[in-house]
Amino acid sequence: MNNRIKEFRARHNMTQEDLAKKVNVRRETIVFLEKNKYNPSLKLAYDIARVFDSKIEEIFLIE
């Protein structure tokens, strides 16, 4: 699974720390997500999509 978190974060002018605080995870989790080293739970994916005001499938792409 790939994701466009980094792209969406830049578009919303957000740091990894800002996003981490908004979705209530540690900054390391955002780092791992952006490097595709971790697939988030459905809840975390939903929370991230909600922060960016987008749909889950726009951010997370299944290869």
Partner 1 sequence: MLSISNFVLELLNKYLKVMKKGVIVFILAALVLVTTGIWFFSSTEKLKLYEFVGFGVIILVVGFAVFIGFKRLNSAKRGEPAEDELSKKVMQKTAACSYYVSLYIWLAIMYFSDKIKYETHTVIGTGILGMAITFAVCWLVFNFRGIRNE
Is the CB of residue 6 less than 8 Å from the CB of residue 15?
A: no
Q: Shortest gap between Cβ of 52 and partner 1 (angstroms)?
A: 19
Binding-residue total with partner 1 (CB under 8 A): 19
Strand partners, 60: 3
Q: Which of residues 3-42 bind partner 1 (CB under 8 A)?
A: 17, 20-21, 24-29, 32, 35-41
User: For residue 12, what are its two tokens?
Assistant: 């919303």
Of the chain, the end-to-end C-alpha distance in Å amounts to: 6
Residues that bind partner 1 (CB under 8 A): 1, 17, 20-21, 24-29, 32, 35-41, 44
